Amino acid sequence: QVQLVESGGGSVQAGESLTLSCVISGYTYSKNCMGWFRQAPGKEREGIARLNIGGGGPGYADSVKGRFTISQDNAKNTMYLQMNSLKPEDTAMYYCAARRGLYCYADIPRVADFNDWGQGTQVSVSP
């Protein structure tokens, strides 16, 4: 059974940093795309970063490029999102997701392309 569990969210002030983690279990595919998404109140869920497991570089939305870094630790079955220089507009519920057996070819991950989702972790950034 596939399971994704996020952690690391919290409340910070603008300019501070947070690192989100996503522990992945139950995956047997050698080729996947992993992504980070966020959803602010009253807004649609948006893709912000993605990483092809097995090849290729990461992709980022313009809103986070240069501030956020997506990475993985295969030994720990964990994906990370390092978030620096946080802004109030980064406030949202953050989700990790996996696309089974396929890579992502666009820099910005699309919600419809992903099969499995975590429960989310809240990030709140105050001015």
Q: Which residues contact 127 (CB under 8 A, 6 or more apart)?
A: 13, 14, 88
Q: The tokens of 48 are what?
A: 């912000």
Nearest to 25 by CA among 94, 96, 83: 96
Q: How far is CA 69 from CA 1, 41, 80, 97, in A?
A: 28, 24, 8, 16
Read off the pLDDT of residues 58-87 as tens digits, 9 standing for 90 and up.
999 999 999 999 999 988 999 999 999 999
Report pLDDT for 126: 98
Report pLDDT for 120: 97
For the chain, list residues with pLDDT below 70: 29-30
